[in-house]
A = this chain, B = another copy of it.
Amino acid sequence: MSARTTATKQKLFDAALKLVGERGAASVTVDEIAAEAGVAKGTIYYNFASKDALVEALLRHGVEILAGRLRSAESADDSLEALVDEMLGFWAEYPAFGQLLVSELWRTPGQWHGTLSLLRDDIVSIVRGHMKRLSDAGRLPDGVEVGTASAALFGTLLVIALDWQVFQPERSRAEVRDSVMHLVRGLGPAR
């Protein structure tokens, strides 16, 4: 794949992500994506087999970036705060990807359900590995089921990040991160 096609695909990803995240995959037209990317419609069909294939590639691409970030964040600082912070940073940078993901991930017989299940597992298993390591090091309280907790943490962070972006954009990332940490460790009855 030449550098030129890579650049074209990148433009298409950016454009598609923006539009699809905002308005949903089904209601965005291929012509709009082409216009937003500043590219001819034919180019889309030269690079992708169909509109669906473009969206699927977009999903894979996004998850790849997120997975990469989580892995490198983990090697830099293995605390739970660091993981949460990195994920919030990703969602802040690609809010449209969060919107896309959240609106497709739990659609039972959706066209991307198979793909998305696998992608979800990618991310959740990274989180799980992270938490497992914390747990083994005795840095998590006893009794936390790592599998359940990591799936829940991923979903929770996703919606909290979206809520932040959409309904409370004035809050800072650090503030949100602290709220999450606080929520996640402090909401029990007074002790």
Interface residues of A (CB under 8 A from B): 22-27, 80, 98-99, 102-104, 106-110, 117, 120, 138-145, 148-149, 151-153, 155-156, 158-160, 162-163, 165-168, 179-191
Contacts and interface: CB of A to CB of B under 8 A. Distances in A.
Contacts of A181: 188
Contact of A140 (B138, B167, B180, B187): B187
Contacts of A186: 141, 143-144, 185, 188
Given A103-B103, A159-B159, A160-B155, A22 B109 contact: yes
How many identical subunits does the complex contain? 2
Q: Which of A109, A143, A162, A168 has the most CB of B within 10 A?
A: A162
Contacts of A179: 145, 148-149, 152
Contacts of A26: 24, 26-27
- Considering the complex of A and B, which 5 residue pairs feature the smallest CB-CB distances, nearest first? A185-B188, A103-B103, A155-B159, A26-B26, A26-B27
